[in-house]
Amino acid sequence: MKKRVGIEALAVAVPSRYVDIEDLARARGVDPAKFTSGLGAREMAVTDPGEDTVALAATAAARLIQQQGVDTSRIGMLVVGTETGIDHSKPVASHVQGLLKLPRTMRTFDTQHACYGGTAGLMAATEWIASGAGAGKVAIVICSDIARYGLNTAGEPTQGGGAVALLVSEQPDLLALDVGLNGTCTMDVYDFWRPVGRREALVDGHYSINCYLEALSGAYRGWREKALEHGLVRWSGTMPGEQLARIAYHVPFCKMARKAHTQLRLCDLEDAVGPGPGTPEAREEVAKSSASYDAQVATSLGLNSRIGNVYTASLYLALAGLLQREGAQLASQRIGLLSYGSGCMAEFYSGVVGEKAAERMARADLEGVLARRERVSIEEYERLMKLPSDSPEAKAPAPGTFRLAEIRDHKRIYVEGG
């Protein structure tokens, strides 16, 4: 019998500060409705140089181990998906291994492909376990990033930062993955990129949205073909995409999930056999259905709207937000997930929510994690953004969190809050 493999539990780490998105709109002379209803944002996480990708990753992993009682001797693989690493050579994963005193027998590495890097890590870990090569060990996959476009840019209201740590094992209490059914699509494009040495990303914003939608179409159709073959969905009654209880998307800003869902429905409408809405205009109208968006997508966006884009972690924040709200009622139901990384790569996959999802999510205490943040003014946010990345301010980390204390001889030194 095929092994059940997937996500057993997760933990979230966020920066200690945030701004209210309406404050940012007013400071930029923009109608707040553009950021709230136009982009779907409420709050935006703000980092300072002490809260770097390593600190956030280590905090999320430590929280996962502590909240879920993980036996660290069973960890055989630690992967960090990130596009905002701190060294060209030394991986974030090696820092986490040392800071958390994790087994020296583990395999550690980072994975990079823009926002897709975390999913690349998750699939590497899942397939390692499913193949039997893991020999009963578990994996931790951490998605950790800081999204920075810079002050007064179009991307500014879509910034954010944080980390999600996933425990991957043969006991998928949160989500048992449909291994082998993933659909993938890759294209060589310059939609969003960050040349070596630059702190801020470069982006062709509207083009990046089109790339996301085109890659989504390829990945979804790839998954759908296999899901139809395996009898997971059918072309009868409702459309295949509608047979998924929920769909979590990569969320660079919340409105993107609505656009993505419309595109996924369009794929089904365009490919449907038998009578359907005939003209492209009629199909567009049906694809945009607010009822479908409300039923299948809206409930996943609570955390994303309060944190912003966290690149590799954005999809997993959507998954966390969804299971936090609906873990109990989704038990035993199949959901879809769409990962997108600029450059670009999309992967659509599915899984069945576990019976213990609600219990596992309660332990993650996501409300508490957000409630401990401090709201800062736009002046303070701008001051923090202007600090050089290599000289963190002296600040004691909160209990259970890590912080970059200093860089000495080009080596990064971290401290843990006691």
Stretch that binds ligand HMG, among 122-130, 231-239, 252-260, 284-292 (CB under 6 A): 252-260
Contact string 77-106 vs ligand HMG (x = CB under 6 A): ------x-----------------------
On whether the CB atoms of residues 399 and 368 are closer than 8 A, the answer is no
Distances (CA, A) of 376 to 259, 384, 417: 31, 10, 21
Check residue 173 for interaction with ligand HMG (CB under 6 A).
Answer: no
Q: How far is the CB of 216 from ligand HMG (least distance, A)?
A: 10
CA 6 – CA 330 distance, rounded (Å): 16
Contact string 286-315 vs ligand HMG (x = CB under 6 A): -----------------------x-x----
Query: Is 115 known to be catalytic?
Result: yes
Q: Which of 24, 80, 129, 203 binds ligand HMG (CB under 6 A)?
A: 203
Q: Which of 128, 223, 253, 348 binds ligand HMG (CB under 6 A)?
A: 253
Question: Is cis: bond before 344, omega within 30 of 0?
Answer: yes
Check residue 250 for interaction with ligand HMG (CB under 6 A).
Answer: yes
Q: How far is the CB of 372 from ligand HMG (least distance, A)?
A: 26
Check residue 31 for interaction with ligand HMG (CB under 6 A).
Answer: yes
Q: How far is the CB of 78 from ligand HMG (least distance, A)?
A: 22
CA 201 – CA 343 distance, rounded (Å): 12
- Can you read off the two tokens belonging to residue 71? 């036996």
Q: Which residues of 263-287 are buried (b: 16+ CB within 10 A; e: fewer)?
A: bbbbbbbeeeeeeeeeeeeebeebb
On whether the CB atoms of residues 406 and 392 are closer than 8 A, the answer is yes
Stretch that binds ligand HMG, among 43-51, 199-207, 229-237, 326-334 (CB under 6 A): 199-207
Edge to edge, the sheet with strand 374-375 lists 43-46, 17-20, 374-375
**Residue whose tokens read 């209490």:** 173
Q: Which is nearer to ligand HMG, 67 or 158 (CB)?
A: 158
Q: How far is the CB of 336 from ligand HMG (least distance, A)?
A: 17
Q: What's the DSSP call for residue 151? A: T
Q: Residue 353's closest CA among 3, 7, 70, 2?
A: 7
On whether the CB atoms of residues 336 and 223 are closer than 8 A, the answer is yes
- The binding site for ligand HMG (CB under 6 A) comprises 31, 33-34, 37-39, 83, 114-115, 154-155, 158, 191-192, 203, 205-206, 208-209, 212, 250, 252-253, 255-256, 309, 311, 340-342
Known catalytic residues?
Answer: 83, 115, 250
